[in-house]
Amino acid sequence: MGEPRKVDLEALKRVLMEHEGHVGVFERVIGFRPASASGYKAVHLMNDLAQCALGGAPQHGGDFLARVIRVDIEDEDNTEAAMRADERFGVAFDRAFPPELGPDRIEALRVAAREVLSFDGGVYQPGTSMCSPLATHRDLLGFEQFRRFGVGRLLADVLPPGGLAKMREHLESDGDPVTRAFRPLLLSAPLVEKQKRNEAVERTPFDRRFGEALTTLMGQPLSKPMMLRTVALGACLGLVLKILGAGREGGRPALLALLNAEEPGPKPLREAAVTSLRRGIDSLDRRVAALVPEHPLAAELMKKASSKSPSVEVPDTRKLETLAASVIPAARAAKSYDDIYWPDDFAVKIGRKAGCVLPKTDRAGWGRHLALSPELVEVLVLMHVSSGQRAMTWSRFWARVREELGVVVGANPNEDIAFLAHAGIENVSDESLADNAEALLAHAVRRGIARRLPDGEAEVGGELS
């Protein structure tokens, strides 16, 4: 064995992430471009998906809405007088807020609009391309920089034509309560698409099943605000599963999900759940390493690293394939270098916000794992049991979730144990699995998602008899 080889981390970053028109290995593996997700929220995901489905956002880019709701921001003149005199939006403002309403009522209405449409602070200064309101209609959409990640494009690509048509139908309808309430703020304009589309990446069997499940969800008889919320939650969960299954056959993960609820007592399956998530990251890394040698810039990794550049040491080798397999874990361990945005970090951050990854912070001292709240169980039911379809038994429902999305909760203990063992998660107790499924069922029954049957089984979906 020769002296260790130093690999330039900046060169590795250029291979893993987009650089000068070259699609990064991460994007090839997970279907979108991971970046720092600290500020990324479900509203950005839905804004992006909406623009991909419609073909862009209104030409004004959300600037009218931004100025209306940013009523008391220092260094911005969004006063009533300034808005009425504005060449670009004066007419629209007069129509939305007739002077006879009076200044107090007008300010109260503007503040109320802010509380609803920018409850998470997602609407920034006009002209900054950071307008992500709660958009129930196409005319409330705005440009925003988070679209560069390509998450909306991925979701639009996995949706079948019927799913995209349903999304467009929802966003072009103005009959829901939220859109009716804010009808005066709807400012129609030609659609503009500002995001360039990169080369298409390969879609997996998981992607197709996930897209079909989202389409089923969009066909449920829900109000539009509730529909958009459930689509956002389902999409966030799907992104987590997509990333953690990217290295496995067909893109399907193998994850044990625990109940996300304040339950007292020990959690005997926590270690197995944590292990299943770690196995997903390990398989992701192996897939990334396998594709590194194919990247146009991969040869730079074999060059001698400059003493002034951040680098990691790996065993010396003359084969790029061998180097790739060792440099990925070495780069992960390089705590002083955080310019590489690992896909699983994105998954954890968006998953925590959606309630499907625990713990909520790393300060808890124990590993991360997939978790399902009763609301997320309801989302999964809506994704897998169509409106008008006969009820599905609890065990069959979870068998289908396992087959399509790679998630188990223990509703089919023997089959779930075999599924997890195949993914390297051994020695899982069938009794603990059954207890986990029962805890989820109890919460689902209380929420009205499931109902128990006289024969001891339970069912989800369908009409109540």
> Each residue of 408-454: pLDDT tens digit?
999 999 999 999 999 999 999 999 999 999 999 999 999 999 999 99
Poorest-pLDDT segment among 36-50, 315-329, 370-384:
36-50
Question: What is the domain count for the chain?
Answer: 2
pLDDT value at position 265?
Answer: 61
Residue 36 confidence (pLDDT) above 80: no
Are the C-beta atoms of residues 199 and 33 closer than 8 Å to each other? no
Q: pTM for the complete prediction?
A: 0.94
Range of the domain at 55: 39-150+178-195
Within a domain: 121: yes
Distances (CA, A) of 120 to 18, 44, 57: 29, 11, 20
Are the C-beta atoms of residues 207 and 158 closer than 8 Å to each other? yes
Tokens matching residue 369: 């794992």
Poorest-pLDDT segment among 99-108, 257-266, 308-317, 418-427:
257-266
pLDDT value at position 27?
Answer: 94
Same structural domain, 427 and 314: yes
Same structural domain, 364 and 453: yes
Within a domain: 169: no
Residue 53 confidence (pLDDT) above 90: yes
Tokens matching residue 249: 């056959």
Within a domain: 137: yes
Same structural domain, 190 and 257: no
- Comparing CA positions, the residue from 118, 93, 121, 120 lying closest to residue 107 is 93
Give the type of residue at 432. S
Within a domain: 341: yes
Same structural domain, 356 and 452: yes
pLDDT value at position 37?
Answer: 63
Q: What is the chain's Cα-based Rg?
A: 24
**Which tens digits make up the pLDDT trace of 113-164?**
999 999 888 888 888 888 888 899 999 999 988 999 999 999 999 999 999 9
Residue 377 confidence (pLDDT) above 50: yes
Residue 465 confidence (pLDDT) above 60: no
Same structural domain, 45 and 16: no
**Which tens digits make up the pLDDT trace of 201-253?**
778 999 999 999 999 999 999 999 999 999 999 999 999 999 999 999 999 99
Same structural domain, 359 and 269: yes
Residue 463 confidence (pLDDT) above 70: no
Within a domain: 344: yes
What average pLDDT does the structure give for the chain?
92
Same structural domain, 9 and 132: no
What residues contact 101, with CB distance under 8 A and at least 6 apart?
A: 109
